[in-house]
Chains A and B, each alone.
Chain A
């Protein structure tokens, strides 16, 4: 039963991490638009475009 000493905190920390992640996503406005993002993943028009946000994204990736 000593194993519980590790298992329970691990379970709580994992659950807590999920909770924190949710609260963070809520705060950063990820639930503001439930409609748009599912279409955005299908849009690859930005690949050819030479605009500022794309450049910024590339810089971040590299």
Chain B
């Protein structure tokens, strides 16, 4: 069976003049040497005009001459060099361009430029005010400042104005509302003062405020961007393509985005089904563990529905692609997911909650200041200037930096522990968790089947079984082949479809296959099944000796028992909710000593349980990977998925952890608790700063110089405090790793 011809054309963009361009995700780039190797290797290829590796995003951009070469040799060369690469769909690359990040960065640059130039003039005024500046020069400086500040406020400030407008329109109050009010009032007051040829103008405050806040905003964006870029690479490297059956009967590998309902695709034995559809020809058994959590194989035949993410174990299937059909599992999951997502958006981030308390207080303080001074007989203009200066100095500059700065530092720490964050506020939500709900299949256990270490074969027999297994494409056989590390295929192996493989070695027949194929009695099989309810069995028989049953299955992740123990010691309530059958779930729960478990759950049941826990006031972390987990991932207070999870679940989860071990769950909770501690410190620092500054402002002592010093001072303090998180978290995660 030869591999289908790949349709690279779908990934190539024509750049004109017979030149073409392609972007690829490359796996295995670890250092700069890999970068040189790939670039040099590709440039030696005839026709390749340019090859450039992006070392931070692990992506490769290649340009070539279409007359001389084509994409196939490029990918082949990469494979030959030892790097797995798969091209991005150009349509997606375009929409993924980091437009938001560039907009923030441009606004940041403009406000930085303006802040520096205005400060140059402001310092001249401040020093002049104490010596001998004449009013004309000061007025002239103020006008130049206004000339720089006005376009800057419009250009750089619109990011906040837009968000504040959206918030007010929907009747909410976020941090951008007081920021917008502060910046606009500071600018308006300064223009008024400039026209009056007064002594003080706050242009520098307004623009510096924008600059610091944009730094915070960009930090926030950078963190999310990093996660997204890695997630995209992972998705692309999974090479989600399908063998489409063309009109002439031949097959061609096409990316999933090029498939439409009604297309027919071919799925061979041992391949993962990548589309949702109806079987048009063929019978097989499919492994649905990634979709429903059920570990027992399900037989399917013509007319049955199959889901993306399931594994075809044997037999060739021809599948007609369908869109989500009413009443199917996928449809149910989608609608549950939608409802759960709506519920989630009600969560209010700490920063927004702080500003909801804070905005009314400072606005009331400003109003009282104004009224107080007028009552005491001051003219209303001066009173107005003083009350606006209260708003300027309390504008949440430190608050705007306090949380994003901690988030950026924390996400760097998460990254080191191999956890990627999908949402910035996930850190706060992780920190408040007291109950953890695990899915079993693919989450507590590994997503791929392996051979149990307790198999009862000698080393020689094991090698023989492994070599025999190489000849079969059945996933259980492949698991045995992987586990034994066998490399040399046996000659003259006969495969009996749906039963097993056999060969003659040194005059003796050896068989590997279903228990019945090797003459194992049902009694013996049932006995083994009760001993190991978590496994499927493959029988191995040598000569006429009785066959040995090899347990193969999805076994516990590395360090699962230790991690669960640590979590229990840390005081978390643990629970297992699984879609798998009772025996398998009970076995896993007993092994991990988790008392609360439920089996045979439908997606709706999982949500109901999580809602019940939430109703008791628990804060629930859901860890799951299957399609059936996606709605409950969204319904929980916060959620994590392993990197092997299906697409929908990864999108619904707040964080994704990589690798085969379960330890990242524990480290994520640890880091988040420390991060929240630092966030709270930062909020307290901001509040103290305001408590100190407001009385001065109310009494009318705040000059632009005082405002500038206080604002930059508090911003720098909260940023430095955030950086401190790296030290306290770094110091205390080390012993955990050793344990």
Contacts and interface: CB of A to CB of B under 8 A. Distances in A.
B56 to A, nearest CB: 4
Contact of A19 (B40, B44, B105, B109): B109
A33 B54 contact: yes
Interface string A24-53: 001000011111100110110110010111
Contact of B36 (A4, A34, A45): A45
B55 A26 contact: no
Contacts of A23: 106, 109
A34 B56 contact: yes
A27 B450 CA distance: 49
Interface in B89-132: 102, 105-106, 109-110, 113, 116-117, 120-121
Nearest to A31: B105
Contact of B53 (A8, A15, A36): A36
Interface residues of A, number: 28
Interface in B44-99: 44, 49-50, 53-57
Nearest to B136: A1
A31 to B, nearest CB: 8
Nearest to B56: A35
Interface string B8-33: 00000000000000000000000010
A33 B57 contact: yes
A61 interface: no
B50 A26 contact: no
A52 B49 contact: yes
A14 B679 CA distance: 39
Contacts of B49: 52-53
A52 B109 CA distance: 37
6 contacts: A1-B137, A31-B105, A33-B54, A36-B54, A39-B35, A49-B40
B23 to A, nearest CB: 12
Interface in B226-273: none
A56 B137 CA distance: 55
A42 B32 CA distance: 10
B195 interface: no
A33 B113 contact: no
Given A19-B113, A23-B106, A33 B56 contact: yes
Contacts of A32: 54, 57
A17 B43 CA distance: 37
- Shortest beta-carbon contacts, A-B, top 5: A39-B32, A36-B55, A35-B56, A35-B55, A19-B113
A46 B37 CA distance: 11
B113 A18 contact: yes
B144 interface: yes
B133 to A, nearest CB: 10
Given A15-B117, A36-B32, A36-B35, A53 B43 contact: yes
B36 A15 contact: no
Contacts of A22: 109
Contacts of B116: 15
B36 A26 contact: no
B93 to A, nearest CB: 13
Which interface residue of B55, B140, B148 has the most chain A CB atoms within 10 A?
B55
A36 B110 contact: no
B103 to A, nearest CB: 11
Contacts of A49: 40, 43
B24 to A, nearest CB: 15
Nearest to A43: B36
B105 A12 contact: no
A45 B40 contact: yes
Which interface residue of A32, A34, A36, A42 has the most chain B CB atoms within 10 A?
A36
Contacts of B106: 23, 26
Contact of A51 (B44, B55, B105): B44
A35 B117 CA distance: 31
Interface in B411-469: none
A46 to B, nearest CB: 8
Contacts of A46: 40
A23 B40 CA distance: 31
A26 B102 contact: yes
A26 B113 contact: no
Nearest to A37: B55
A39 B43 CA distance: 18
Given A36-B54, A40-B35, A51-B40, 11 more contacts: A4-B140, A15-B113, A22-B109, A33-B56, A33-B57, A35-B56, A36-B56, A42-B32, A49-B40, A51-B43, A52-B43
Contacts of B137: 1, 4
Contact of A33 (B44, B55, B102, B121): B55
A53 to B, nearest CB: 7
Contact of A11 (B50, B105, B109, B117): B117
Contacts of A31: 105
Contacts of A52: 43, 49
B43 A19 contact: no
A22 B116 CA distance: 15
Contacts of B50: 53
A11 B484 CA distance: 72
Given A36-B35, A51-B44, A26 B54 contact: no
Contacts of A36: 32, 35, 53-56
A6 to B, nearest CB: 14
A29 to B, nearest CB: 10
A17 B504 CA distance: 80
A4 B143 CA distance: 14
Contacts of A51: 40, 43-44
Contacts of B56: 33-36
Contacts of B148: 12
A16 B113 contact: yes
A39 B36 CA distance: 9
Contacts of B40: 45-46, 49, 51
Contact of A26 (B44, B105, B117, B121): B105
Interface string B342-367: 00000000000000000000000000
B55 A39 contact: yes
B179 to A, nearest CB: 23
A31 B40 CA distance: 23
Contacts of B109: 19, 22-23, 26
Contacts of B54: 32-33, 35-36
